[in-house]
Structure 1
Amino acid sequence: MSVTRGRSKDPNRPSMFEVAQLAGVSHQTVSRVINHSPDVSEATRSKVQEAIESLDYRPSNSARALASHRSRTIGLVAGGVNYFGPVSSITSIESIAREHGLFMSVMMVNETHCTQNDFESLCENFLQQNVDAFIFLTPTDAMFEAACKAQVSQPRVIVTSTHGAIKADEVVEAKTDDSQIAFTGIDQWGAVHEVARLLAVRGHRTALYVAGPSQWRDATTRLDSWQMAAKRYRIRTAVVRSSTWQARESYGLMNHLIDERGMSGHALPSVVVTANDNQAVGVARALHEHGLRIPQDISLVGFDDIPTVDNMFPPLTTVRPRFADLGVATMRQVLALMKQGEPAQFSSTQHGVGLIGADVIVRSSLGHAVRR
């Protein structure tokens, strides 16, 4: 079948009308196929797809937006981008968005100092881009509150932890009539409980827990879970809180504790559990410099499974969040709110947050408790 070129601004680029002519359908039908409309029979959809492939047709994004009244753009506001968890989440979400023909426009903020006005300003910038929906990665209480209060009418999915100064269930209950909001996250609570169970099985009855910065919801969730799990498994715990996630601070805290215990004659715990892997690196250095062997003298457990901790000496036992699955679930929630698919199915939902699992990766840094 010959095709007459026409209605294309670029003479070398096939148009939607040429696709329609080759497939023997209207250009409106081609538009419906391109925009994944369900109102097209499978036989017609196949003919159109064959014509698209034959002509190597690439639809104009602006034309698609005009036809569907959508920009096919998701606005993502993210905090914590200096850390492994948020960056991994963003990478996964963006990858899934691309698979669905969506574009991701990303703006990053200071997660600690972000104000409501700052957040509203970012959202306004996105609204000028005519975004179809929002994803908010909110690692801190300040960001979580701002995301919940943001004055936007588009669908929004908030990625967060279940616990913090503002409990997620309080927001969920306040928005029971709001069909334009959903919450996703990692099951950090369950992962920390599994860590405590493994320690108990290996005979650990005393522990030091190095908590993260209090304004971070991850830190609060993990600490609250640890305290409950330690009580359940009868693990006596001392808690020190770090004001950052950095190895240098946990290194200093561990040095101080070793010196303090040494002077007072009190024994060290049989295991140190840290709220993230960076902290575990600092703790490991302090133990090494004091001649304490891991795990022969004291065990060590982290959280996040950042690159290289499997090559520490000894390799670090840690928690590996399923960030790829979180990206899939978050995008499915976005698409469901946009009426373009079914919502994600979660194995666990707590406090209104759909949760994705995390796995405890046991390596050589965890041994059996040492008798003191």
Structure 2
Amino acid sequence: MPAGNGGRSRSKRPSMFEVARLAGVSHQTVSRVINNSKDVSPATRIKVQQAIRKLGYRPSNSARALASSRSRTIGLVAGGVSLFGPVSSITAIETVARSHGLFMSVMMVDESACTLAGFQELCGTFLEQNVDAFIFLTPTDTMFQAACQVEVSQPRVIVTSTHGITSVEEALSRRRGEGRIAMTGIDQWGAVQRLARLLVSRGHRRVLYMAGPSQWRDASTRLASWKVACARCRIRTAVVHARSWEAGESYTLMNHLIDQRGMSGTSLPSAVVTANDNQAVGVARSLQEHGIRIPSDISLVGFDDVPTVDNMFPPLATVRPRFEDLGVATMRQVLALLHQGQPVDFPVTHHGVGLIQADVIQRRSLGYAVERI
């Protein structure tokens, strides 16, 4: 539809040359402003930005890539996407990227079956897109090792846990590629230490711990911290090892434990701590079916604070990792590696991994220790 006074069609996209004319500068200057070049005076930058807003100009990503030798695209390879934590972090990463005019290209992988060759092939697909940097969400040791060893020259940020079958130091010693590297994660170690102190403050000295699958670095970190915390706090603990994060398995394991102790006449512990909330749901079902009340007879604590556990009966005490903050920090580290900001000042760093806090959430499933059932 024609605009008044013979103006341009309203459906026509404004061009960089129109912005330049309105601002009274060259189109090269407009390009420098769009690409955040330092070679533009503050006054000129303001004039160009005002013209961009007035015309509603949106730069072409391909044009920006040609001008800056960057695609403004970040390649993200993620495992564990069936679980709450990785999905929450990815959402935050994408939001921050979009706010900086960057695009995310995402590939999901099977975290248990990932190989270095497969990982290299995925990254090759990203390299064909000329991505500026990589983000790797690596929940398992297999993925973590591949993320360190893959041959890429672009900067990479690896989201991982501090402990696992393969240490951070060992994985980095096998690193390939030339790009700079940063690592981010959740301070799960510190959260477990605080949880143990809270349990002791409520009189719990005999606690069952249900560990997660050993190939997951989160499970390794939580278990290692739990063992240290129990030694420090003089908590007597038994550890049950699950092969998955699923409620069905934890339900079966807890049923077996209750039956086993019933036959031997051994009393149950005063509390059960699980390595994630799904496991806590299965444990809660088993306890309730056996007529064991939470927390009157036994306390229960999970990990992750997934949606709905605050509406369990009773509401589940748990640990709440700040997954969204992790996503934001991860993307800020990418920007820093691309010289578009300062690195994150993490409150805690272990083994070279910058860590975001996790909070212990007290709810009614955690009571005071009682004389044994």
TM-score bracket for this pair, using the shorter chain length: over 0.9
1:324 shift after superposition? 1.4
1:168 shift after superposition? 1.3
Partner SS, residue 64 of structure 1 = helix
The residue type equivalent to 1:144 in the other structure is F
1:170 shift after superposition? 3.0
Partner SS, residue 326 of structure 2 = helix
2:188 equivalent to 1:188: yes
Aligned positions of 1:59-78 closer than 5 A: 59-78=59-78
* Counterpart Cα distance in 2 of 1:191 and 1:177: 34
Partner SS, residue 28 of structure 1 = helix
The residue type equivalent to 1:358 in the other structure is A
The aligned counterpart of 1:220 is 220
The residue type equivalent to 2:126 in the other structure is F
Partner SS, residue 92 of structure 1 = helix
1:38 shift after superposition? 2.4
Q: Which runs of 5+ in 1 are unaligned?
A: none
The aligned counterpart of 1:28 is 28
Report sequence identity in percent: 73
1:86 shift after superposition? 1.1
Aligned positions of 1:301-340 closer than 5 A: 301-340=301-340
Partner SS, residue 74 of structure 2 = strand
1:173 shift after superposition? 6.0
Partner SS, residue 96 of structure 2 = helix
Aligned positions of 1:137-176 closer than 5 A: 137-172=137-172
* Counterpart Cα distance in 2 of 1:5 and 1:90: 44
1:169 shift after superposition? 3.0
* Counterpart Cα distance in 2 of 1:349 and 1:248: 35
The residue type equivalent to 1:282 in the other structure is G
User: Does the CA-based 8 Å contact 1:5-1:14 persist in structure 2?
Assistant: no
The residue type equivalent to 2:59 in the other structure is P
2:203 equivalent to 1:203: yes
Distance 1:145-1:4 versus aligned 2 partners, 3 A rule: farther
User: Does the CA-based 8 Å contact 1:137-1:160 persist in structure 2?
Assistant: yes
Aligned positions of 1:249-328 closer than 5 A: 249-328=249-328
The aligned counterpart of 2:133 is 133
Q: Which moved more, 1:165-174 or 1:17-26?
A: 165-174
State the superposition RMSD in angstroms.
1.9
1:11 shift after superposition? 7.7
The residue type equivalent to 1:294 in the other structure is I
Distance 1:282-1:276 versus aligned 2 partners, 3 A rule: same
* Counterpart Cα distance in 2 of 1:343 and 1:204: 41
The aligned counterpart of 1:18 is 18
User: Does the CA-based 8 Å contact 1:186-1:358 persist in structure 2?
Assistant: yes
* Counterpart Cα distance in 2 of 1:53 and 1:225: 52
The residue type equivalent to 1:128 in the other structure is E
Q: Which moved more, 1:245-254 or 1:177-186?
A: 177-186
Q: Which runs of 5+ in 2 are unaligned?
A: none
User: Does the CA-based 8 Å contact 1:322-1:356 persist in structure 2?
Assistant: yes
The residue type equivalent to 1:72 in the other structure is R
Distance 1:370-1:176 versus aligned 2 partners, 3 A rule: farther
User: Does the CA-based 8 Å contact 1:4-1:18 persist in structure 2?
Assistant: no
User: Does the CA-based 8 Å contact 1:172-1:351 persist in structure 2?
Assistant: no
String of CA shifts for 1:193-222, please: whole Å, max 9, x gaps: 111010011010001000000100000000
* Counterpart Cα distance in 2 of 1:111 and 1:173: 22
User: Does the CA-based 8 Å contact 1:326-1:356 persist in structure 2?
Assistant: yes
User: Does the CA-based 8 Å contact 1:179-1:337 persist in structure 2?
Assistant: no
1:172 shift after superposition? 4.5
The aligned counterpart of 1:349 is 349
1:336 shift after superposition? 0.9
Partner SS, residue 32 of structure 2 = helix
* Counterpart Cα distance in 2 of 1:177 and 1:251: 45
Partner SS, residue 297 of structure 1 = coil
* Counterpart Cα distance in 1 of 2:204 and 2:37: 58
* Counterpart Cα distance in 1 of 2:25 and 2:146: 48
The residue type equivalent to 2:279 in the other structure is Q
The aligned counterpart of 1:103 is 103
The residue type equivalent to 2:329 in the other structure is A
String of CA shifts for 1:66-89, please: whole Å, max 9, x gaps: 111111100000001111111111
Distance 1:32-1:166 versus aligned 2 partners, 3 A rule: same
* Counterpart Cα distance in 1 of 2:328 and 2:29: 30
Distance 1:114-1:174 versus aligned 2 partners, 3 A rule: closer
Partner SS, residue 209 of structure 1 = strand
* Counterpart Cα distance in 1 of 2:153 and 2:7: 42
The residue type equivalent to 1:29 in the other structure is T
If the length of structure 1 is used for normalisation, what is the TM-score? 0.96
* Counterpart Cα distance in 2 of 1:50 and 1:192: 51
* Counterpart Cα distance in 2 of 1:350 and 1:258: 38
* Counterpart Cα distance in 2 of 1:274 and 1:38: 52
The residue type equivalent to 2:343 in the other structure is P
Q: Which moved more, 1:44-53 or 1:217-226?
A: 44-53
String of CA shifts for 1:44-76, please: whole Å, max 9, x gaps: 111111111111111111111111111110000
